[in-house]
Copies of this chain bind each other. A is one copy, B any other.
């Protein structure tokens, strides 16, 4: 009984160094923390499965960082500040110790970059693919969370970064698309959560684009009871995406983790200035209008494009 079983030994060696205040050294049945005074708590959870959200041979450190960053992107969409996270990890029984070491190292890099720490989690075996979940905790001034609802007719549609790199990066990582400098695959493996961008006083509604720009814009439409018109030529594409020339896949492919924002025209200039101070490029891609909660994408002639699908659905 003096020797710890492998499971607990691995948690102690690889994950305890990531544990922050409240985690109780990962030694208890739960974490305990005093919430920041006078703040609302923000909480979200995402799952990632090998072969679905990442490639089975992706480096474990990058898998960990993608897992953390996709959740940070949810906090970013709400205008929240990161606080901590819990993660559950289901792995084949014969996984090497090095997998844990690399996975934890990836978490360590990003929790330092984004200012949060590990609160707890669970580590189990599975006979199937690596299955991960992460629950992220953040906080926001009371009543100041940015919601999906709120877009109004006349609001401009703005998006951060570039769209489509994630979807094309998956093709590149699978060897199905040329990606000489690896920028597309990198964008698939390592999302950039746009923390701090969605300021409550500048952004009326927001979400992070994870399942495809067009489909996710539909969520803003339904929540706000407005129609959306997107100009395809205005959607920001990276040089690599532009070279690939697969515009429909860029618009509907998912894995972008960029923020899609409804912005009142009188706030657009201030939002652009705010984005510049953060070093985040933002682009106006269209506008909301009265009408059915539908997304219309217009080509460079102003004619509606016909898309075979709006975005990703797991089922």
Q: Which residues of chain A have a CB within 8 Å of any CB of chain B?
A: 1-2, 5-8, 10, 24, 27-35, 40-49, 51-53, 73-75, 77-78, 80, 86-91, 93, 95, 119-129, 131, 133, 135-138, 140, 142, 145, 147-149, 207-208, 214-215, 218-219, 221, 223, 292-295, 310-315
Are B315 and A47 in contact, with the CB atoms below 8 A?
A: no
Copies per complex? 2
Measured between beta carbons, the chain B residues less than 8 angstroms from A86 are 43-45, 135
A33 to B243, CA, bound (A): 45
Task: Pick 16 A–B contacts, CB within 8 A, sort by A.
Answer: A1-B295, A27-B148, A29-B73, A29-B74, A29-B148, A29-B207, A32-B140, A35-B35, A43-B119, A43-B120, A45-B121, A45-B122, A45-B135, A52-B127, A123-B315, A128-B128
Measured between beta carbons, the chain B residues less than 8 angstroms from A8 are 313
Majority secondary structure, A binding face:
mixed
A71 to B122, CA, bound (A): 11
Measured between beta carbons, the chain B residues less than 8 angstroms from A310 are 1, 5
Q: Give the interface centre of A30, A122, A208 by most chain B CB atoms within 10 Å.
A: A30
> In the complex, what's the smallest C-beta–C-beta distance from A4 to chain B, in angstroms?
8
Measured between beta carbons, the chain B residues less than 8 angstroms from A140 are 32
Nearest B residue to A88 via CB reads: B47
Are B49 and A42 in contact, with the CB atoms below 8 A?
A: no
Measured between beta carbons, the chain B residues less than 8 angstroms from A91 are 315
Q: Which of B78, B93, B314 contacts A32 (CB 8 A)?
A: B78
> In the complex, what's the smallest C-beta–C-beta distance from A11 to chain B, in angstroms?
10
Are A7 and B315 in contact, with the CB atoms below 8 A?
A: yes
> In the complex, what's the smallest C-beta–C-beta distance from A114 to chain B, in angstroms?
15
Nearest B residue to A221 via CB reads: B1
Given A43-B86, A120-B45, A30:B314 Cβ within 8 A: no
A50 to B313, CA, bound (A): 23
Are A315 and B131 in contact, with the CB atoms below 8 A?
A: no
A93 to B135, CA, bound (A): 23
Are A124 and B7 in contact, with the CB atoms below 8 A?
A: no
